[in-house]
Amino acid sequence: MSATTAGRGAPHHVGHLDEVTEHEPATRVDVPAPGGGEAVLVLEDGRAFTGRAYGATGTTVGEAVFCTAMTGYQETLTDPSYHRQVVVMTAPHVGNTGVNDEDDESGRIWVSGFVVRDPARRPSSWRSRRSLDEELAAQDVVGISGVDTRALTRHLRERGAMRVGVFSGDALREPTTGRRLETSELLVRVLDAPAMRGADLAGEVTTPEPYLVEAEGEPRTGADGRPLTVVALDLGIKSRTPWHLARRGVRTHVLPATSSTEDVLALQPHGVFYSNGPGDPAAAEHEVGVLRDVLAHRLPFFGICYGNQLLGRALGLGTYKLTYGHRGVNQPVIDTATGSVEITAHNHGFAVDAPIGEEFPTDFGRAEVSHWCLNDRVVEGLRCLDTPAFSVQYHPEAAAGPHDAGYLFDRFCDLMAAPRTTPDTPSPSAPSRTTEENA
């Protein structure tokens, strides 16, 4: 991706309301909408949308996906699972709270491009340090604003996620003559982009070196008297995940996706965790092989999102690409053990192919679907019945929200502290779940 960038601007300072008296009526100040010149979005089926440059100018290509979250765009942008994707925000107003230095889920923005309808003219939050437009430009992220995102989302919902390109600035013109390029010429660049199916991307987003996140406060101990220790394979991990474990007294070794079984076992963990991440799970042969070894050693295992898909493949199940995926913080999921419904955060374009409502055999004993989506019956969780392993397709780390699924970290900690044959299955008569994150 090539782009022209701008430096980070200083935040705007707005006077307090009590500075305006009845003798000095407030004066409305019209701030120009952010964005540069013309920009064009071209889908691989030839449909095009015009708008204004937003963020960096230049060219970017990726898979077009839509996110239904109405908040949390900063966490979305910095989620490594969005690597090589151009994210369309369905909420019409984006950028209202600017960008701060606390809510990033990784060290950079990972989306390939960003599409919004009405960008905020200026941020309005005491936590904001700069505008979203400035942050996108500073990190070379090409975006487009002024797009009819409702029409674009409906198109993707009906036709499915597909490759897309966003072009602005010099990318819209022929270099030597300055001639404005036709949509058909821009489409050629889109069709040259790699497809998401078959892509093995965890190695492109993982940490280059192992690192340790220590427990907060008094460490929790396992049955062997040692402080509870987790090995987390970083397939695109969000910073909020080891934070949740640390708050529960667990120390977490985060390892690169290329780590071997020997690397994992050398740390003598009480449990193994597989994170979220981008790409096609069918291409992750190395990570699946390591997970099969973990299951064979009967180490407690917990996987989320991509980790759920890899557990499915380790158990011998298939995976498939969804038509347009689940992305947002408002997805309803039912727990088959309790019948309770959780509103959950999602970001996935692939799913596990498993029977709902019945046990099925695997190389590691029996297993079952533990959760499924109420919108389309997509498998949202797996539970092994003869092995200490479970997973969910959604994001219990809840960055950004909601916090309905935070109890899953407690379930993992309990499983490590007192290993049993299978993860705890709550009674259908159990009281409603509450988590400390809701406080």
The verdict on whether 397 is a catalytic residue reads: yes
**Amino acid identity, position 348:** H
Which structure tokens are listed for 167? 């072009």
253 is catalytic: no
Contact 350, 323 (CB under 8 A): no
Contact 121, 98 (CB under 8 A): no
Is there a contact between 267 and 245 (Cβ–Cβ < 8 Å)?
A: no
Residue 350 is assigned to a ligand binding site: yes
Q: How far apart are CA 150 and CA 54, in angstroms?
A: 18
Q: Per the annotation, does 36 bind a ligand?
A: no
Q: Within 13 A of 342's CA, how many CA atoms are on the CB side?
A: 32
The 3-state DSSP composition of the chain as helix, strand, coil percent (nearest 5) reads 20, 30, 45
Annotated binding residue at 7? no
**145 phi, psi to nearest 5 deg:** -120, 170
Catalytic residue (one of 134, 380, 397, 437): 397
**Residue 81, annotated ligand binder?**
yes
12 included as an active-site residue: no
Residue 100 burial by CB count (10 A; 0-12/13-18/19+): exposed, middle or buried? middle
The phi and psi torsions of 192 (rounded to 5 degrees) equal: -80, -15
Which of the following is catalytic: 395, 403, 413, 437?
395
**Given the residues 67, 305, 384, 413, the one annotated as active site:** 305
Burial class (CB in 10 A: 0-12, 13-18, 19+), 156: buried
Q: Is residue 308 marked as binding?
A: no
From the annotation, which residues make up the binding site for L-glutamine?
A: 81, 277, 279, 309, 347, 349-350
From the annotation, which residues make up the binding site?
A: 81, 277, 279, 309, 347, 349-350
Which amino acids are annotated catalytic? 305, 395, 397
